[in-house]
Structure 1
Amino acid sequence: MGAVDKEMVEDAEDLQVLMARQPIYTKSQDVTAFELLFRDSDGKFVDGLKDKEATLGVLMGAYSSISKSGEVQNVPCFLKVTDSFLLDNEMPDLPRQSFVIEILGHSKISPALIDRVKSLANDGYRLALADYDPTDPRFGPLLNVVHVLKLDIQKLGMKNVQTLVQKLRPFQLELLADKVETKEEFRLCLEMGFELYMGYFLSKPEPVKGRKISGNKVLLIQLLTELQKPNATAQSVEEIALNDPALTFRILKVVNSAAFNLRREITSLSHAIAMLGMDQVRRWVMLFLANSNGDKPDDLTRNMLQRGRMCELLAEMTGRPEPINHFIVGLLSQLDVMMDIEMAELMNQVPLHHDIKTALINRDGSFGEVLQEVEHYERGEFEHLRKMLERHFYEVAYRHSLSWATQVMQALQSAA
């Protein structure tokens, strides 16, 4: 483990919990909240949260922060709770504006639970109900209490959802479409009147036949090609960049931003290379290659950034060679979605090493193995982790990646 990473791990609060977050989107595909996915060291749900002020501090910091329009903001977190957690009266006094209490559909919906939920609503908490089954009368009393109703569109079946939405109208609930897997499903749910959306529909490309990488992305690829040459110099890189002074200015603006704590302003790409080295400049060229031209939601770029950083950290922590290339693999693993070009076709258009390309297409080799590990963690599929490291290190790396991505997004947005 590198010195920076040792310091990062030692300074981080030890939560002893595996925790990830899933975005909840609005109709315009902006992130309005996160659902927290986590298990404690005993594999239990929220039990790891009890009496842990430090955990709450982390949740309200790294796990709820995003950058919007160059400013860091906090959004609410949906917190899944069991009926026993609600009824044992040990629930921490959570800040009302920061958390939405999510009741699980397989809870034992007893009179005591209904009274407890009503009490929480009266105390000012926002409440959500998951796993709703319209054929089960147990849910009836809760529909008049909760604020958000989560509908699993895959389980219910799209053909049944529209009728159900009509029946639920009198309750004036905020409807959340869960397990939205395709852009077409998103469009259908939008037409039905859903306000909130969860699922991986933003992570799948809509390939346009014959589409090529265009605009300043071509120049970024030329820069990347030059940066990968063993005999590349600061001057040869700068000569290419000067073909687009506006892009060069944006790169320098980002490099000079809070993403680096530099003591003196960097005034040219050759100066940046002299100060930071080829690897760091290659990283920033990659970031600009992955950054949207404005036609994709910010959350896609945010996820690409945090995935790239976590891949790099896991590579460093496990002593694998070329951590920077693990970063590149993580970062570009959703470039097909950003460009709406199939990954195999995209790899024909970008000048990357063969092992990076095969990792992106087939999840092969060390790069692909680490990428898969990070993908499992992001989705809360903790049972599928290869356990390359102790549990604690995964959460610390993930949390650090969230904070790093927020910082870089802020820099990218400020430089737009």
Structure 2
Amino acid sequence: MSKSMVGRQPILDKNEKLFAYELLFRSEQGNKIIDGEQATSEVISSSLESIGLFNLTQNKPAFINFTAPMIKNKIPEILAKESIFIEILETVVVDSDIIESCQELKAEGYKIVLDDFEFKEEWIELIKIADIIKIDFINTTPAQRKEILAVIRSKYNSQVKFLAEKVENHSDLEEAKKDNYDYYQGFYFTKPDIVSGKKVEPFSLSYNNIIKELNKENPNFKKIEKIIKQDLSMTYSLLRLINSAAYGYDINSIRQGIVLLGIERLKKWCLLYSFKKLNNQKPDLLLKTALIRAYFADSLKKYFEIKEDLFVLGLFSLINAYLDRDFEDILAQISLKTEFKEALISRKGKFGSILDIIEIYEKSNWKELKNYSFDTACVFADYLEAIEKGERFFELT
């Protein structure tokens, strides 16, 4: 049975912290739709009913595209004004009815976003009330972008915020920062982007020592306890995790907590904690994405009859973006299963397929699933569960 799905793309603020998600229509039929009304209707119905808006956005605002008829009929009023930004596509024909409807929605407290913006005279009244204007970094030149920003800021709306969309690389991000954009959106923040020649900190000796001990046939929990106690922030993080409702324990002893969590959970916690300390200049979203990948990768193993724990494979799939180094360079210094390394570097074998599937679901490119025989609806449910686990684990550590 065909099932509509919702794609989400993160939007970051100036500090590269998660600000919102743009929600996009996706389906298993290669995203083929009849019209814009159908697309937005599917997004709204999926957000409210089958998936849940909170599950999709983790209580962040949602940017949703609305067509001209939907704006004129005040369809956005179905959703709470605090939960959405109304995106008006560049394909909308702006007339007096559109302007009046947007002005009324604005007066009610809804936020107006102009998407894929190109300056046209008929858009001036919308520019005046817009909260955010999105500038496409692929289909405009740097000179065009500078001119748009200058004209709007000086003549029409000095309070409007600008969003740099389709930020694909580091140079795009640097330009957006230099020109004082308020928000960023693009594959640069979710797809690895390598910046050469940047100095990075190595893994902390503490984390290596713990993982080394956990990998032994008979780990020495007393030794692990001692290592953790030497790091105040690590101690706090572990106790917070163990005492959380997610695990249902109420303890005050590191030793007791270590035993209750067990080896596998300790490994995952230690890997996550080490990632958080590797490079504090990276956005939280990158770490969160890596954690979601870790949970999703481990859930996919049942479809490939894989027995290995794939958490580390998913987590390490973004280590190159986190350290701004090539996989080959990083993995040469890490003790990791050979097949995992081959998958991370060249996407070889069944583990490479796992990584491919993760990216397909991240980008909602469902037509690329035609080469796989599993139940896509079940896998999508696994992906949503991975998002939920990742969000919860991230908040607890």
Aligned with residue 382 of structure 2, among 394, 397, 406: 397
Contact 1:32 1:75 in 2 (8 A): yes
**Normalising by the residue count of structure 2, what TM-score does the alignment of the two structures yield?**
0.84
Aligned-residue offset at 1:200: 3.0
Alignment of structure 1 residues 255-274 onto 2, 5 Å: 255-258=241-244, 260-263=246-249, 265=251, 267-268=253-254, 274=259
Tell me whether 219-228 or 141-150 shows the greater mean CA deviation.
219-228
Give the secondary structure class of the aligned counterpart of 1:107. coil
Greater shift, 397-406 or 239-248, is seen at: 239-248
Q: Distance in 1 between matches of 2:294 and 2:282?
A: 18
Alpha-carbon distance in structure 2 between the residues aligned to 1:87 and 1:335: 47
Which secondary structure state, in structure 2, belongs to the residue aligned with residue 133 of structure 1? Answer: coil
- With CA pairs under 8 Å and 6+ residues apart, which has the higher RCO, 1 or 2? 1
Corresponding position of 2:177 = 190
Q: In 2, distance between residues paired with 1:85 and 1:56?
A: 22
Structural RMSD (CA):
3.0
Residue 296 (structure 1) shift: 2.3
CA deviation map 1:377-410 (0-9, x unaligned): 2123333334554343344223222221221122
1:109 paired with 2:102, answer: no
* Paired residue type of 1:114: I
Distance apart, 1:83 and its partner CA = 2.8
Does the CA-based 8 Å contact 1:308-1:329 persist in structure 2? yes
Residue 82 of structure 1, aligned match among 67, 70, 74: 67
Matches within 5 A, 1:9-408: 16-40=3-27, 43=31, 44=33, 45-49=39-43, 54-55=48-49, 58-59=52-53, 61-65=54-58, 74-87=59-72, 91=76, 93-134=78-119, 136-169=120-153, 170-172=155-157, 173-202=160-189, 203-208=192-197, 211=200, 213-214=202-203, 216=204, 218-229=205-216, 232-235=217-220, 238-239=222-223, 242-243=226-227, 245-247=229-231, 249-250=235-236, 252-258=238-244, 260-263=246-249, 265=251, 267-268=253-254, 274-293=259-278, 294-316=280-302, 318-322=303-307, 324-325=309-310, 327-386=311-370, 388-408=373-393
Out of 168-177 and 381-390, give the one that drifted further. Answer: 381-390
Q: Distance in 2 between matches of 1:263 and 1:190?
A: 44
Distance change (3 Å), C-alpha of 1:253 and 1:195: same
SS class of match (1:159): helix
Report the Cα distance in structure 2 between the residues aligned to 1:111 and 1:391, rounded to whole angstroms.
Answer: 44
Kept after mapping to 2: 8 A contact 1:129/1:146: yes
Query: How far did residue 279 of structure 1 move?
Result: 2.5
Paired letter, 1:46: T
- Letter of the structure 2 residue corresponding to residue 265 of structure 1: I
Q: 1:85 to 1:313 in 2, by over 3 A?
A: farther
User: Is the CA contact 1:330–1:371 (under 8 Å) kept in the aligned structure 2?
Assistant: yes
Confirm or deny: 8 A CA contact 1:177 1:197 kept in the other structure: yes
The Cα offsets for residues 46-66 of structure 1, whole Å up to 9 and x where unpaired, read as 22145678439811x12222x
1: CA distance between counterparts of 2:315 and 2:128?
44
1:354 Cα offset (Å): 0.6
Judged with a 3 Å threshold, the aligned counterparts in structure 2 of structure 1 residues 344 and 241 are, in CA distance, closer, same or farther, namely farther
Residue 210 of structure 1: how far off its partner (Å)? 7.0
CA distance in 2, matches of 1:52, 1:332: 31
1:19/1:395 contact within 8 Å kept: no
Q: What is the identity, as a one-letter code, of the residue corresponding to 1:129?
A: L
Superimposed CA distance per residue, residues 60-116 of structure 1 (whole angstroms, 9 cap, x where no aligned partner): x12222xxxxxxxx3211112233443456555110011001111123334433333
Contact 2:25 2:40 in 1 (8 A): yes
| Alpha-carbon offset, residue 369 of structure 1 | 1.2
Aligned length: 381
Distance change in 2, residues 1:92/1:371 (3 Å): farther
Q: Which runs of 5+ in 1 are unaligned?
A: 1-13, 66-73
Aligned-pair CA distance for 1:356? 0.9
* Contact persistence 1:227–1:278 (CA under 8 A): yes
Aligned CA distance change for structure 1 residues 75 and 272 (closer, same or farther; 3 Å) = same
